[in-house]
Amino acid sequence: MIGPLRKTSSGPRRVALAGITAMLAALVAACGTDYFEIPIETPIQPKLDVSPFQRVLVIGFVAGGTDDVDANQETVRLLRSQLRTKSSLKVIDADIIPLIDVARDQSQGSSEESNGPRSEGGAPPRASNGNGGGDRTIQGLSLPANIKDEKDLEPYERLFANTAYWKRIGEEFQNPLIVTGTVLFTNRSTSGFVQRDQETFDSLGRRRVMPMRTYMERKGFILRPKFVFIDGRTGATMYSESYREEILYNAQQNTPALSSYFELMDRLVPNFLSALSSQKIRGTRVLLK
């Protein structure tokens, strides 16, 4: 037998629930949120005091590694263009010095003029100090003809300690801050197991991401620059910093060496700039109540 429907208490309960929800919403609205994301810009002071200099001369690098990229030319061009836009120093446009040749000339103890930079319209500066010798040369050291790795590069580093040579260059360009160093851009290939996330779908169509170890052959490049900052007034090294960046691609991928070089340099340029100009690093932080 079907009797009359019993009156349930769901009506008042629903009203009570709605009231509680409304009260909670009002409470949340009154209290507001307890955290706020805020963009910040952190100013970073330069590592070097460049106030005594008005001008900067990126003179050249001892470069080696792959022949696909002229790392000396490209590094000088890139750093000069970055300094033009992101530094208060005036960038000197001078011919790029093939520092390898300079080092070799010094190594041979040549008293003749080396392949120095040519000022805007002038003669190349001497490798020697021009007053009867006295430069600390890198005589007696065998310099490898081809620089393929760091070991080959090592003997060339003495060039940066030759204060008389750098002082001479400084005089030639009215005592600028001199930027030089070494750049090694080498091929790298590796093979082995690599962990990658692989997307799978089960029988119910649910997506799952599983870490999978797969054997891969990869190739890419390693960039190892060392930036040396020299005081053009004294020829002494003020500061130097070395970096290492690496990029690897699937072996089937054909990425030009030059684009890899720029990709790797892109990572390093902020570090280079932070040595001589103040930078602002943008980020986001969370303020709390």
Partner 1 sequence: MNTPVIALVASAAVLAAIPASADAKKDAKSQVEFGISVAQRGLWREAIYRWEKATQIDPTYAAAYNDLAIGYEHEGQLDKARKAYEKALELDPNNSQVRQNYELFKEINDRTAQKDK
Which of these segments, 36-44, 89-97, 166-174, 185-193, binds partner 1 (CB under 8 A)? Answer: 36-44
Give SS3 for 164: helix
Min dist CB 231 to partner 1, Å, is 18
283: contact with partner 1 by CB under 8 A: yes
- Across-strand partners of 60? 180
| Chain Cα centroid distance, residue 37 | 29
Q: Which is nearer to partner 1, 18 or 40 (CB)?
A: 40
Alpha helix stretches (DSSP H) within 32-96:
71-86
Contact pick of 3, 4, 8, 35 for partner 1 (by CB under 8 A): 35
266: contact with partner 1 by CB under 8 A: no
262: contact with partner 1 by CB under 8 A: no
Structure tokens that stand for 257 in this block: 């060496």
Contact pick of 25, 38, 212, 258 for partner 1 (by CB under 8 A): 38
Give SS3 for 200: strand
Which of these segments, 65-73, 93-101, 193-201, 237-245, binds partner 1 (CB under 8 A)? Answer: 237-245
Which of these segments, 94-102, 111-119, 133-141, 235-243, binds partner 1 (CB under 8 A)? Answer: 235-243
281: contact with partner 1 by CB under 8 A: yes
CB burial string 245-268: b at 16+ within 10 A, e below: bebbeeeeeeeebeebbeebbeeb
Give SS3 for 16: helix
- Which residue type, as a one-letter code, is found at position 136? R
CA-wise closest residue to 275 among 228, 222, 225: 228
Instruction: Write out the residues near partner 1 by the rule CB under 8 A.
Output: 35-36, 38, 40-45, 47, 240-244, 271, 274, 281, 283, 285-289
